[in-house]
Amino acid sequence: MKCQTLVSGGASFKGSHCVIVFVKAGYESIVLDNESTVYGVPTYLLVDGWHPCIGDHITNSYVGADESGLIGEDPVVDEQKEKVNIKADQFGGIPGVTAMIICLPLSLFYVSYCLTESHGGTLQSPFTISFYQYIIDIHVQLVTVHYHIIPILICYILFQVVLAVKLPGRIILGTPVGVNKDGSVKRLDYKLNGFIAYLLTLTVYFILCYHCHILSPTFLADNFTSLLVTSNILSFIIAIGISILSYYQNSYQSISCNMIYDFWMGYIRNPRCLNFDFKFFFEGRPGLMLWVLFNISFIEKQIQNFDGNYSLSILIITAFQTLFVTDYYYFEEAILTTWDIMEEKFGLMMIWVKKAYR
């Protein structure tokens, strides 16, 4: 006679997995559960009945299970139905988030300030008048001198949007993001064409720079600071737009009831418009592709400045970062199982990191 185990709450998310472990170990499992928290519409199984996850190797009185084979409590909370506000304690709470919104852009400008030719990459004091004068100057120059950078960067983003929408690609379902009204599992579909878009972007860039000579190979390096300022501004504009979109779609959810904290953390998990997923798009595009293009442009800048020579360090950095980006797009499906896509809301925190920091 087989050893028997009694699993209390065996129809729950954790309990059902315990049952599977016991069965595989050779135990006969008896499940005791009141089916009060089952995943989907419960199907009551008779003694020695068939279990949707492990077949007919289970003895029980009643087990709640969904016909899809998913059993137990829903591990994903339906954010549209969740009404409980979470305490604003991440990133140091509201004061910490406020400081990050102000200081993170300043940190990028500080690095840019230290990398100017007059400072030669040495660390400078951020508490000087010249540093803040530098910040004012680069913003003024963006509007008065380098204003062409703004439409160029916007066109690049729109180009990536067109590639994401129009290029062919596999359509796959992501991880569960809740339940539908009929109790079935809710999953979002994603088009995976990042690798094709990545190769096409590199091809277009090389054609524009080396064949048609429309862009200088050092264009990105020459306009690095202006592109940095523009990306920072666009990050805030996109974050505001996503907040407005979530409000009009009636899908926003306040985390803390504090506007600054919620703006940073995000109001919505999967913002979409016409089935275009903004979070999935900005997770890998356009920032990662631009990362590779920047490296290529900086190599060209070194060749220009040092009479055809370039450093070994920049080649090593470019090689490994290009390998990282290529790997990302080739195995693009894997990003759908990360915390960023599955759980994180899409607020300024994610937008700024993906758009400006990268």
Q: Residue 232 has which token pair?
A: 């920072």
- The pLDDT of residue 236: 92
Token look-up 């709470």 returns: 93
Looking at 22, 42, 60, the residue that finishes a domain is 60
Q: Is the pTM of this model over 0.85?
A: no
pLDDT score, position 77: 41
pLDDT per residue as tens digits for the range 170-186: 998 887 776 666 667 77
Same domain, 27 and 133: no
Helix (H, G, I), strand (E, B) or coil at 31: strand
Query: Per residue in 45-83, is it b (16+ CB within 10 Å) or e — as a string?
Result: beeebebbebeebbebebbbbbeeebbbbbebeebeeee
Tell me, yes or no, whether 110 and 208 share the same domain.
yes
Q: Do both 105 and 52 map to the same domain?
A: no
96 and 56 assigned to the same domain: no
Under-70 pLDDT residues of the chain: 1-2, 9-17, 19, 28-87, 178-183, 250-255, 355-358
Within this chain, do residues 55 and 167 fall inside the same structural domain, yes or no?
A: no
**pLDDT at site 193:** 93
Q: What is the pLDDT of residue 197?
A: 96
Q: What is the pLDDT of residue 73?
A: 42
> Do residue 142 and residue 17 come from a single domain?
no
Task: Provide the pLDDT for residue 10.
Answer: 66
Q: Which domain holds residue 47?
A: 4-60
Tokens of 8: 């209390």
SS3 of residue 28 by DSSP: strand
| pLDDT per position as a tens digit, 208-232 | 999 998 999 999 999 988 998 999 9
Residues 41 and 101 in one domain: no
Query: Is 170 strand, coil or helix?
Result: strand
Position 66 in a domain: no
Amino acid at 269: R
How many independent structural domains does the chain possess? Answer: 2
Q: Are residues 19 and 148 in the same domain?
A: no
**112 in the same domain as 10:** no
pLDDT value of position 254:
63
Measure the CA–CA gap between 346 and 358, rounded to whole angstroms: 16
pLDDT at 337: 84
Dist. CA 135–CA 4, nearest whole Å: 71
pLDDT of residue 66: 40
For the chain, the residue count is 358
